[in-house]
Amino acid sequence: MKSLIASLCICLCVYTLQARPDLHKKPTRILVLFHTTSGGTWKLAQAIAAGITQQGATAVLKQVPAIDKNIANAAPGVPYADVAELPQYDGIAFGSAVHFGNMTAAMRLFLDGTVDHWTHHRLEGVPATVFMSAGSGAGREAAILSFWNTLAVHGMVIVPTGIMGAATLQKNIAQGNTVFGATSLASMPGSARPSASELEQATLQGAALARVAIALAAVPRTVQTSTPVATTDSIAIRMNRAGIVLPPVPAPAGNYKPFTRAGNLVYINQVALKEGSILHPGIVEKEISVADATAATRQTMLNVLAVLQAACDGDLSRVKQCVQLTGFFNTAPGFKDHAKLMNAASDLTVAVFGDKGKHARATVGAASLPVNSSVEIQAVFEIE
């Protein structure tokens, strides 16, 4: 009898799982991706996320990196998104401030890094919606429609707002809501922004996106997960996120060229030149500290990368790999930490190129170096 009851229980469980396939479905995950300058878009993003969760989906809030590092982050603590992760989501809500009838430059730069997703059809069929924060409201509808162009090229399913929230709209103050997506009149005087009606439409918009995403999640979607191809834009985003700015190409100090090319190999030698003079000149651990020498090493590698960019006609995506880095250091007798100094150059290279920046390496101590530089780096890169 016990074995019969056990068998019936097993059969009932199997039947239940077959009849309710939703029991073993993964939860629908929707990315709320935004760039905020004054905090208005961030508030709308939270309302969008609230509408998503109301429908039983999971909202993931992330922001794109700012271009101008001098502007305070209006959404501190919110993680930055990576272009590579976009295909992992069942839907994406995009949010940005309105800049001259378009998205912000930071959002544009981020989306320009999605070329590899486009060529591999990774975002086709993914539902998407757009919300924006406008100052006076001028150009807000044009901004959303221009945003849609990028999403349409990707083949994404665009979810507009229509007349959501019209029945409960506050009519005693100006509202930024549009039939294309929620917007906020951020600089409108006389009331807090986003207004209650603007936030309500954003919540309804998030709910609408979630309903579409949940429905489409039942349809299998093939996502190619091959390693993304490095592009100029993705390298630019990586450099921007890490605060890496390349200096002007240093002019040769003699009868030689900044680089030479043999086949697909580019050869570069640089010292710690910065703005016309040597950064932290002298002997390491005798005339300058290890910290100063580390800074000089990083500056030297920045000079190498500036020359490399010139060798690639401005397109660093042509770099196939960093083959070899050799560091020469002007050190006092008995110094043993050459490799630690060279890590500054290696880490910078990997920060720019990712796995393609990993290289073979050598470090050498020297009694002196040209122009009293504490470091000189010889680099070999393979380019297309």
Q: Look at the block and give the residue holding tokens 């190619």.
A: 224
| Cα 187–Cα 191–Cα 196 angle in degrees, nearest 5 | 105
CATH architecture type of domain 26-229:
3-Layer(aba) Sandwich (3.40)
- Does residue 228 surpass a pLDDT of 60? no
Separation CA 265–CA 110 (nearest Å): 30
Predicted pLDDT at 9: 43
> Can you give the pLDDT at residue 207?
96
Chain segment 236-248, per-residue pLDDT in tens: 888 887 888 899 9
Amino acid (1-letter code) at residue 60: V
Question: Domain 244-383 - what CATH class?
Answer: alpha beta
The rounded percent of the chain whose pLDDT value lies above 90 is 55
pTM equals 0.54
Lowest-confidence range among 76-85, 133-142, 171-180, 225-234? 225-234
Task: List the chain domain ranges.
Answer: 26-229, 244-383
Of the candidates 54, 44, 162, the residue with the CA atom closest to the CA atom of residue 93: 44
Highest mean pLDDT among 20-24, 74-78, 339-343: 339-343
Q: Name which of 188-197, 225-234, 257-266 the model is least confident about.
A: 225-234
164-203 tens-digit pLDDT: 877 777 767 667 778 898 888 875 655 667 888 888 989 9
CA distance 30 to 316: 33
Rounded-to-integer distance, Cα 302 and Cα 296, Å: 10
Q: Which amino acid is at 155?
A: G
